[in-house]
Amino acid sequence: MTYRVYECDAKKKADITKILETDPYADDSFARMGYKVKDGQFLEEDRGKLYIYVKASDDLLKKADERLKGIAERCKHDVEKRIVGKIQAEEESAETGLGSIFGE
Protein backbone atom coordinates (compact mmCIF):
# COMPACT_ATOMS: atom_id res chain seq x y z
CA MET A 1 0.00 0.00 0.00
CA THR A 2 1.13 3.48 -0.76
CA TYR A 3 -0.31 6.84 0.16
CA ARG A 4 -1.07 10.15 -1.43
CA VAL A 5 -2.19 13.48 -0.02
CA TYR A 6 -4.37 15.86 -1.99
CA GLU A 7 -5.33 19.41 -1.11
CA CYS A 8 -8.24 21.62 -2.04
CA ASP A 9 -9.89 24.82 -0.95
CA ALA A 10 -11.96 24.26 2.21
CA LYS A 11 -14.94 25.79 0.40
CA LYS A 12 -15.05 22.65 -1.77
CA LYS A 13 -15.82 20.36 1.17
CA ALA A 14 -19.29 19.42 -0.15
CA ASP A 15 -17.85 18.51 -3.56
CA ILE A 16 -15.08 16.43 -2.00
CA THR A 17 -17.50 14.66 0.34
CA LYS A 18 -19.75 13.76 -2.58
CA ILE A 19 -16.85 12.22 -4.52
CA LEU A 20 -15.45 10.36 -1.51
CA GLU A 21 -18.80 8.90 -0.48
CA THR A 22 -20.07 7.89 -3.94
CA ASP A 23 -20.83 4.16 -4.30
CA PRO A 24 -19.01 2.99 -1.13
CA TYR A 25 -19.46 -0.69 -2.00
CA ALA A 26 -17.70 -0.54 -5.38
CA ASP A 27 -14.36 -2.35 -5.58
CA ASP A 28 -12.58 0.89 -6.42
CA SER A 29 -14.44 3.20 -4.01
CA PHE A 30 -12.65 5.58 -1.68
CA ALA A 31 -14.31 3.77 1.22
CA ARG A 32 -12.45 0.60 0.27
CA MET A 33 -9.21 2.46 -0.40
CA GLY A 34 -9.13 4.10 2.98
CA TYR A 35 -9.06 7.86 3.30
CA LYS A 36 -9.07 10.65 5.83
CA VAL A 37 -10.09 14.25 5.33
CA LYS A 38 -8.35 16.73 7.61
CA ASP A 39 -8.79 20.44 8.05
CA GLY A 40 -5.62 22.44 7.47
CA GLN A 41 -5.95 24.13 10.84
CA PHE A 42 -6.06 20.75 12.62
CA LEU A 43 -2.85 19.71 10.85
CA GLU A 44 -1.19 23.08 11.50
CA GLU A 45 -1.03 23.67 7.76
CA ASP A 46 -2.89 26.12 5.51
CA ARG A 47 -6.12 26.98 7.37
CA GLY A 48 -8.01 27.56 4.13
CA LYS A 49 -7.41 24.05 2.81
CA LEU A 50 -8.66 20.53 3.27
CA TYR A 51 -6.22 17.66 2.99
CA ILE A 52 -7.30 14.25 1.75
CA TYR A 53 -5.07 11.35 2.78
CA VAL A 54 -5.57 8.22 0.67
CA LYS A 55 -3.89 4.88 1.32
CA ALA A 56 -4.28 2.33 -1.48
CA SER A 57 -2.58 0.31 -4.20
CA ASP A 58 -0.96 2.17 -7.09
CA ASP A 59 -3.81 1.22 -9.44
CA LEU A 60 -6.43 2.62 -7.09
CA LEU A 61 -4.39 5.78 -6.55
CA LYS A 62 -4.47 6.37 -10.30
CA LYS A 63 -8.27 6.17 -10.14
CA ALA A 64 -8.25 8.57 -7.20
CA ASP A 65 -6.21 11.01 -9.30
CA GLU A 66 -8.84 10.84 -12.04
CA ARG A 67 -11.81 11.30 -9.71
CA LEU A 68 -10.32 14.24 -7.84
CA LYS A 69 -9.02 15.99 -10.95
CA GLY A 70 -10.23 19.57 -11.13
CA ILE A 71 -11.30 19.64 -7.47
CA ALA A 72 -8.20 18.63 -5.55
CA GLU A 73 -4.57 18.30 -6.51
CA ARG A 74 -1.71 16.35 -5.04
CA CYS A 75 0.28 18.22 -2.42
CA LYS A 76 3.87 19.18 -2.93
CA HIS A 77 6.23 16.46 -1.75
CA ASP A 78 7.40 18.26 1.41
CA VAL A 79 3.83 19.07 2.49
CA GLU A 80 2.69 15.52 1.71
CA LYS A 81 5.53 14.05 3.76
CA ARG A 82 4.73 16.30 6.74
CA ILE A 83 1.02 15.47 6.65
CA VAL A 84 1.60 11.73 6.30
CA GLY A 85 3.91 11.89 9.34
CA LYS A 86 1.25 13.67 11.39
CA ILE A 87 -1.50 11.24 10.39
CA GLN A 88 0.67 8.20 11.08
CA ALA A 89 1.62 9.61 14.50
CA GLU A 90 -2.08 10.14 15.22
CA GLU A 91 -2.85 6.53 14.23
CA GLU A 92 -0.04 5.18 16.40
CA SER A 93 -1.24 7.24 19.33
CA ALA A 94 -4.76 5.86 18.89
CA GLU A 95 -3.43 2.30 18.76
CA THR A 96 -1.40 2.85 21.91
CA GLY A 97 -4.48 4.25 23.65
CA LEU A 98 -6.54 1.20 22.69
CA GLY A 99 -3.77 -1.07 23.88
CA SER A 100 -3.82 0.52 27.32
CA ILE A 101 -7.61 0.15 27.51
CA PHE A 102 -7.36 -3.57 26.82
CA GLY A 103 -4.29 -4.09 29.02
CA GLU A 104 -1.75 -4.76 26.30
Q: What is the pLDDT of residues 13-64, one digit of tens each?
A: 999 999 999 999 999 999 988 899 999 999 999 999 999 999 999 999 999 9
Instruction: Please say if the pLDDT value at position 95 is more than 90.
Output: no
Percent share of the chain, pLDDT over 70:
91
The tally of domains found in the chain comes to: 1
Q: How far apart are CA 74 and CA 4, in angstroms?
A: 7
Question: What CATH number should be reported for the domain holding residue 60?
Answer: 3.30.70
Query: Domain range spanning residue 97?
Result: 2-101
- Strand pairing category for 35-39 and 49-56: antiparallel
